[in-house]
Amino acid sequence: MDKEKQAGLQEKVRVEFESYSHNEQFARVVTAVFMARLNPTMEELEDVKTAVSEAVTNCVIHGYEDRIGTIRMELSCDHGQLTVEIKDWGMGIGNIDQAREPLYTSKPSRERSGMGFTFMETFMDSMEVRSVVGEGTTVTMKKQIGNKILEKKVV
């Protein structure tokens, strides 16, 4: 297969940005541009952008708290399967199972609702969290994009 045909089936981009809260918008836009090549529905686009916002906000608010650190986002696709990996080198999570529970938040006083991980899980097909206290957190989410379009073409 020639190089340009291969692109779109299997490819990867990686961006790094600082943990300013306005970079949540930057991450959403980069995600939308990358997804455009996968022919997403509006719903798929909105679902992934919401999951990305939640993951990046967590790096900003929890991972780095009051300091500025680096957030790395890697987007890859493999025949319509989108993988989004969002990584920080912040404080890490002591109890991942507890953190993933709906309504659990370590910052109730900051008016967080504790629903970020639950949204990521709901809007994506899968979500994995790896974290080491004092070293940082990596969230990996996957979603098959464009299924509905394929199904329509087959029928």
Residue of the chain from 114, 140, 144, 149 that contacts ligand ATP (CB under 6 A): 114
Q: How many CA atoms within 13 Å lie on the side-chain side of 89?
A: 8
Based on the shown chain and the rule CB under 6 A, indicate whether residue 60 belongs to the binding site for ligand ATP.
Answer: no
* The pairing of beta strand 126-132 with beta strand 70-78: unpaired
Phi/psi for 104 (5° steps) reads: -80, 125
Based on the shown chain and the rule CB under 5 A, indicate whether residue 58 belongs to the binding site for Mg ion.
Answer: yes
Residue 59 interacts with, from Mg ion, ligand ATP, none (CB under 5-8 Å by kind): ligand ATP
Task: Note whether 96 and 75 are within 8 A (CB).
Answer: no
Q: How far apart are CA 109 and CA 78, in angstroms?
A: 41
Binding segment toward ligand ATP, per CB under 6 A, in 16-24, 29-37, 58-66, 140-148: 58-66
Based on the shown chain and the rule CB under 6 A, indicate whether residue 87 belongs to the binding site for ligand ATP.
Answer: no
Residue 79 interacts with, from ligand ATP, Mg ion, none (CB under 5-8 Å by kind): none
What is each CA distance from 131 to 13, 50, 135, 152, in whole angstroms? Answer: 23, 21, 7, 40
Count of residues engaged in binding ligand ATP, rule: CB under 6 A:
22
Binding site for Mg ion (CB under 5 A): 58, 116
Binding site for ligand ATP (CB under 6 A): 54, 58-59, 62-63, 88, 90-93, 99, 104-107, 112-117, 137
